[in-house]
Amino acid sequence: MADTDREDEELFTEPSGTQSQPASLSTEDVSANTNGPNQDALFDDDPEDLFAEATEEVSLDSPERDILLSDGPSPAITPITPPTSVIAPRIGHTHDDMFTHSSFDEIEEEEVDDSFDINISVSDPEKVGEYVVHPVQEQKTSMSLFKQREFSVKRRFSDFLGLHSKLASKYLHVGYIVPPAPEKSIVGMTKVKVGKEDQSSNEFVEKRRSALERYLMRTVKHHILLKDPDVLQFLESSELPRAVSTQALSSAGLLRMVNKAADAVNKMTIKMNESDAWFEEKQQHFESLDVQLRKLHISVESLVCHRKELSVNTAQFAKSAAMLGNSEDHTALSRALSQLAEVEEKMDQLHQDQANADFYLFSELLGDYVRLLAAVKGVFDHRIKTWQKWQDSQILLQKKREAEAKLQFTNKSDKLQQAKDEIKDMEGRVQQDERDFEQISRTIRKEVGRFEKERVKDFKTSIIKYLESLVLTQQQVIKSYFTFRYVTASV
Amino acid sequence: MTSIDESNKEKFRSVSVDLNNDASLLIDIPDALCERDKVKFTVHTKTTLSAFQKPEFSVPRQHEDFIWLHDTLVETEDYAGLIIPPAPPKPDFESPREKMHKLGEGEATMTKEEYTKMKQELEAEYLAVFKKTVQVHEVFLQRLSSHPNLSKDRNFQIFLEYDQDLSVRRKNVKEMFGGFFKIVAKSADEVLISGTKEVDEFFEQEKTFLLDYYSKIKDSTIKAEKMTRSHKNIADDYIHISATLNSLSVDDSTANKKNLQKLSDLFEKLRKVEGRVASDQELKLTELLRYYMRDIQAAKDLLYRRARALADYENSNKALDKARLKSKDIPQAEEHQQQCLQKFDKLSDSGKKELTIFKGRRVVAFRKNLVEMAELEIKHAKNNATLLQGCIELLKSN
């Protein structure tokens, strides 16, 4: 009940109008309606409180939102200071430690996305009160869109999820490819919350930090998303209201799940008459790309695993060689064996470092793109839904026309008038739906172009970095063995 | 018929150095044939010694023939004071065969090129195992031929010369049981050797050293094997990565196509280098450790035999005392005691010599192999770096 209320209040007044029946609402729509408190998955308070807060939030924000959003997805946006009336977040929210991250470095922006140059970095988490936060530093150049040159904010993991949620609900269904946020990991989070200080939890922390950084960078690289007020607020505000609907078990979460299921069914039953070969070709292209990237991802994950094994085995061998050297009674040979142990210890370290590079520069890149492709697919699916809506309106119009025709032969003039009015409305709707469809088709074309360009650039940059890491390793190997050889030859 | 060419043999001959230098008796295995599980070695001899009927000849031999020769030498009393070169291990194709089987099962999940490459990798591995077994059998014979005493052994000569099937002379069932008892006796030896009080400083040190060193080198061998396996796994991963990049390149219709292709080629080249890193490490490090582990065992066997001789001598002393007490059979007891003493002294003398030579041999072999391993690692790393930098240049320039 509460959900629908919020939805009515807080509407996208974008030209493409989402004032549709609840049934065709995507899951994101529901969650986005709350500008309310963010929550992390399972560790949260009773829903009651959250919803109460949420309503508050929305009423304060919505007028501003309307202004911002009425500009639609066009690049020209009037500079707006983010609402200073942003609600103070719920401090003293008893639950657990959540990660708060994010810092920015430089933000410059131009109208066109190509010469874009923003740098964001997310730092390691630290605890502030009950939460875990990331410390932050940054600078930026002046830009009308932002209030200050530099900023530094502290954000919790749930804040990131909340941001994505909002962006997805606003932009996905009109054809924009919104970068997906990093996934929640209950196991990982529990370990960290419990305070377990071991290698796997350190790895988890770093993995998450890196993922959040990449997520933000991708989001701000999108020229439309960068200007979104939610993004600006996320980047700038010292306090951020918390999102409620990211909670998996909330009613919002449940509704999300139901809608997802409905979507899946719809996908199976909608058969679109594709008049545009471009879309068909692109869909196939993305499908095959998805298959290949997944396969590559698996192979690289295997590489990471084997390299870690190599590191462990090398370390063990080094220890064993050291013991052998101790046992050796020929002095010079004993020294050589100790040297061998040292060299292999260095190799162990190199292999470890290389495994990290394998992971962060190659494996994670692939993982990100597998999830990005899911977002791309989603956007194509939305187009089909939009088409379907248009078809449905046309059918309805036809029915109304038929009904009106029948009424012509009766003497119910008042009913006839009503029918004629309804037809007029319906015609308007059909036209709107058609415009929506054309709009989303146009947007997708542009987006796909942007995405592909970005993808190629992204891969190239990362792969070059990765290859450079491999080169570095090899150079270290050469150095180490060179010294070793010199010592051993004199045995 | 899989044969080994000379250049490859040179690389392999480093485990034991300075063999096959004496022109009076030159032995090598120029050819070997692999039929299912059985390997047939062609043993080729060139000699100037009159003990042999012909100056040059070849005979076919199986692994079991080598084992027979080794065991015969071990059982020869006269050689009790010598370190008998360790018997070559049985040819073991289990690992590549198992991998080939797994590959066959997983064939459906990979592209044709991937499958072909994996198969090539496995065939190379199979070949490497084959080469290793040839080498290790060859070195065994060469150790014998370069030993002043063992080279003159009659059974050794028969092994080299006898142009009929040796199986008649090989272990029969009775002898096999004898072998079993020998293993049981050996563990008793271990107890004996650790318990015996050693008068001779030299042997005391050797005993301590060899016992400790053996367990350490065994451990190192196992750990080195694991390292090599990891390298091989990484090489396999590179194959898959290269194949998928190739597929991506084929599907790609943009300017990125070339980049993907270059990357695919790079990984293909990298995996070849990685494969060589693995096999060189295997050869220079793992094989070295494995060989000397067996050699140390042979040295330990010498110590056991000496300990047994010492025990015999002490027993004979007791028997002599008893005989003197009973005033019965004194001359026999005295003679027996003398024999035991002589045997023990002979063993100690030759044992000392052998162990000293052994240490020298070990040091030389380790140095040679470790230096060569380091040089190969450097070579492969340089190769890798060049390949990588080449690819980086190409990608950046595009």
Tell me what ipTM this predicted complex has. 0.87
Asked if the C-beta of B217 comes within 8 angstroms of chain A's C-beta atoms, the answer is yes
Rounded to a whole number of angstroms, the distance from the CA of A473 to the nearest CA of chain B is 9
CB contact under 8 A, A491 and B366: yes
Q: Can you tell me the mean pLDDT for A207-231?
A: 86
CB A140 within 8 A of CB A257: no
pLDDT score of A406: 85
Q: Say if residues B237 and A295 touch (Cβ distance below 8 Å).
A: no
Helical H runs in B282-329? 287-326
CB-based contact B65:B91 (threshold 8 Å): no
Instruction: Estimate the share of chain A in helix, then strand, then coil, as percent rounded to the nearest 5.
Output: 65, 5, 30
Q: How far apart are CA B60 and CA A166, in angstroms?
A: 80
CA nearest to B353, candidates B73, B148, B198, B208: B148
Q: Which residues of A touch B245 (CB under 8 A)?
A: 296
B251, pLDDT greater than 70: yes
Which is higher by pLDDT, B6 or A460?
A460
Residues 34-63 on B with a CB inside 8 Å of A are none
What does residue A78 show for φ and ψ, rounded to 5 degrees? -75, 135
In this prediction, residue A29 has a pLDDT band, given cuts at 50, 70 and 90, of very low
pLDDT reported for residue A69: 34
pLDDT confidence of residue B168 = 61
pTM: 0.77
Residue B261, chain A, CB below 8 Å: the answer is: no
The alpha-carbon gap from A307 to the nearest alpha carbon of chain B, in Å, equals 7
Q: Give the mean pLDDT of chain A.
A: 72
Segment holding A102, helix H or strand E? strand A100-108
Contact between A474 and B388 using a beta-carbon 8 Å cutoff? yes
Nearest chain A residue to B293, by CA: A324
Q: Which residues of A touch B255 (CB under 8 A)?
A: 456
- With 0-12 / 13-18 / 19 or more C-beta atoms within 10 angstroms meaning exposed / middle / buried, residue B326 is exposed
Q: Which of B370, B378, B392 sits opposite A488 (nearest CB)?
A: B370
**Residues of chain A with C-beta less than 8 angstroms from the C-beta of B229:** 313
pLDDT category at A1 given cuts 50, 70, 90 is very low
Which 8-state DSSP code applies to residue B8?
A: H
Query: What is the C-alpha to C-alpha distance for residues A324 and A153, in angstroms, rounded to an integer?
Result: 55
Nearest to B256 among A303, A327, A456 (CB): A456
Chain A contact probe: residue of B366, B372, B389, B394 with most A CBs at under 10 A: B366
Task: Decide which of B256 and B372 is more confident.
Answer: B372
Quote the strand ranges of chain B, DSSP E. Answer: 2-3, 25-35, 38-47, 56-62
Write the DSSP symbol of residue B345: H
Task: Give the residue, A247 or B101, on which the prediction is more confident.
Answer: B101
Residue-wise pLDDT for A341-375, tens only, equals 999 999 999 999 999 999 999 999 999 999 999 99
Mean pLDDT of A294-306: 96
The label of the residue with tokens 């969650």 reads: A31
Q: How many CB pairs under 8 A join A and B?
A: 151
Give contacts of B 375-394 with A, CB under 8 A: 375, 377-378, 381-382, 384-385, 388-389, 391-392
Amino acid at A337: L
Tell me what pLDDT residue A220 has.
Answer: 84
Calculate how close chain A gets to B389, using CA atoms only, in Å: 7
User: What is the rounded average pLDDT of the residues B225-239?
Assistant: 94
Tell me which H or E stretch contains B231. Answer: helix B201-251
Q: What is the pLDDT of residue A25?
A: 34
Q: How far is C-alpha B2 from the geometric centre of its chain's CA atoms?
A: 20
- B254/A296 CB distance under 8 A: no
Write out chain A residues lying below 8 Å of B220, CB-based: 317, 320-321, 323-324
CA of A483: which chain B residue's CA is closest?
B374
Contacting residues of B for A336, CB less than 8 Å apart: 366-367, 370
Q: Do A324 and B220 touch (CB under 8 A)?
A: yes
pLDDT, tens digit, 9 for 90 and up, residues A169-188: 888 888 899 999 888 777 66
Averaged confidence pLDDT in chain B: 86
Does A468 sit within 8 Å of B392, measured CB to CB? yes
* B387 half-sphere exposure, CB direction, 13 A CA radius: 21
Looking at residue A117, its pLDDT comes to 56
pLDDT at A173: 84
Q: Which of A58-72, A204-218, B149-163 has the lowest mean pLDDT?
A: A58-72
